[in-house]
Amino acid sequence: MIPAKFEYIKASSVSEALGLLDKHGDEAQLLSGGHSLIPTMKLRLNQPKVVVDIGKIPGLNSISEDGSNVVIGANCTHHQIATSSVVQGGVNVLAQTAKEIGDIQVRNKGTIGGSLAHADPAADYPAVILASGAKIEVEGSGGKRTIDATDFFLGIFETALESNEMITAVHVPKSSGGVYLKFSQPASRFAVVGCAAIKNDSGVSVGLTGVAGCAYRASAVESAYNGDAKAAAAHAVDGVEVMGDNFASSKYRAHLAKVFTERALNALG
């Protein structure tokens, strides 16, 4: 399988990449790890005229601490996140989640920026990004802005990113004792359903992925939770249009969402 013809440009800085996005508009696509983009190009579901490789831009693959946040560069691979002592120490649930993505080879190449921008309804990070109240740092030729995780995921493969913007980093508030549990699709390991639960000052925050067109904060579970995991988890799909596909019908998915939410809340202890 060979993608349709395209022009390839390796960007050496964020501003060069943004300039290329401005110049080529909808004809251009960014390439980071390529583990979502290249398969879709080979299947001709996606035929960009210009591919802007941001994978080697210096400075986008570092992990650091900034007060109460862990700051993860957009180009950090899943493997880097899974094995980083800063992530393990600050927000271990994110390191554990990264470790569960795909397989060794996918984790060595796929990046957090690519995963969030791609917004696959079955991707793992969105659940944790939502539950932890992370902020996504994006840059366009007009400047920088940050987007709250709750405002970022809009629908199937749809985010709040403008077509001339790119993700530069993710700011994840530190937390301890978070949990991410998923029911994996047996071949790809994508989440049929995944639930992240994190303790906070007022109780718990819960993010669900795989259930609907995009990941969401299960606020009905959060407000119902008073120590009884089962009762709170019964609200996991309140007000949500649950997806059905060849892996799981919508009824089964709704059931899984409740079961995994209950297990995640119980695992929080």
Ligand X SMILES: Cc1cc2nc3c(=O)[nH]c(=O)nc-3n(C[C@H](O)[C@H](O)[C@H](O)COP(=O)(O)OP(=O)(O)OC[C@H]3O[C@@H](n4cnc5c(N)ncnc54)[C@H](O)[C@@H]3O)c2cc1C
Sites of contact with ligand X (CB under 6 A)? 29-37, 54, 74, 101-102, 106, 110-111, 113-115, 117-118, 120, 123-124, 161, 166-167, 188-190
Q: Verify binding: residue 189, another protein, rule CB under 8 A.
A: yes
User: Residue holding tokens 């400047």?
Assistant: 143
Q: Verify binding: residue 102, another protein, rule CB under 8 A.
A: yes
Q: What is the per-residue burial (b if ≥16 Cβ within 10 Å, else e) of 188-201?
A: eebbbbbbbbbeee
Q: Which does 117 bind (CB under 5 to 8 A by kind): ligand X, another protein, none?
A: ligand X
Using CA atoms of 16, 21, 23, 26 in order, give the dihedral in degrees to the nearest 10. Answer: 170
Q: Verify binding: residue 118, another protein, rule CB under 8 A.
A: no
Distance in angstroms (rounded) separating the CA atoms of residues 54 and 171: 20
In whole angstroms, how close is the CB of 223 to ligand X at the nearest point? 28
CA within 13 Å, CB half, 69: 15
Q: Which is nearer to ligand X, 206 or 232 (CB)?
A: 206
Distance in angstroms (rounded) separating the CA atoms of residues 125 and 87: 14
Among 62, 88, 108, 200, binds another protein (CB under 8 A): 108
Among 104, 202, 226, 269, binds another protein (CB under 8 A): 104
Q: Which is nearer to another protein, 24 or 235 (CB)?
A: 24
In whole angstroms, how close is the CB of 70 to another protein at the nearest point? 22
Give the helix/strand (H/E) hosting 9: strand 7-10
Q: Verify binding: residue 42, another protein, rule CB under 8 A.
A: yes
| Residues linked to residue 224 through DSSP beta bridges, in sequence order | none
Q: Which stretch binds another protein (CB under 8 A): 13-21, 29-37, 238-246, 250-258?
A: 29-37
| Chain length of the chain | 269
Using CA atoms of 132, 257, 246, 128 in order, give the dihedral in degrees to the nearest 10. Answer: 10
| Residues linked to residue 209 through DSSP beta bridges, in sequence order | 194
In whole angstroms, how close is the CB of 155 to another protein at the nearest point? 24
Distance in angstroms (rounded) separating the CA atoms of residues 263 and 208: 13
Among 6, 46, 263, 266, binds another protein (CB under 8 A): 6
In whole angstroms, how close is the CB of 1 to ligand X at the nearest point? 14
Among 79, 235, 253, 258, binds another protein (CB under 8 A): 79
In whole angstroms, how close is the CB of 51 to another protein at the nearest point? 7
